[in-house]
Amino acid sequence: MISNNCKIEVTEKGENVLVKITSPIYDPLKTPRIRVEIHDVAEYLKDKGYPDVECIKGGTFSNRRATEENWIFSKKALDKPAEKVILSKENKTEPKKKSKAKKKDK
């Protein structure tokens, strides 16, 4: 979950959406621990008007080690409408007749 202490910048470059999160480093007395994962950022983007995005680059952000993380998402292209397909009836073929094995005379 994205915390209120995080500063989030969302920018668009062509077909990509760049997300930058900055947060103060973890301090037990002042700043709580923050952990942000890809699905949290995708959910945030969905709320901001980017319903279909796919992560190209990024990972998990924790303010215990770093104060900044970048993600790159690509906008999914909407599917084109399928062409109309005309179905035709298939003729059923009859199975081949099997010949019986001939018995040998003794």
- pLDDT of amino acid 106: 65
The confidence score (pLDDT) of residue 89 equals 75
Where in the chain are the domains?
7-75
Model-level pTM? 0.62
* pLDDT score recorded for residue 84: 74
Is the torsion defined by CA of 25, 29, 31, 32 positive or negative? positive
Looking at residue 72, what is its pLDDT?
87
Q: Does residue 75 sit in helix, strand or coil?
A: strand
Sign of the dihedral through C-alpha 53, 59, 60, 61: negative
Mapping DSSP to helix (H, G, I), strand (E, B) and coil, where does residue 61 land?
strand
Contacts of 72 (CB under 8 A, 6+ apart): 16, 17, 18, 19, 55, 56, 57, 58
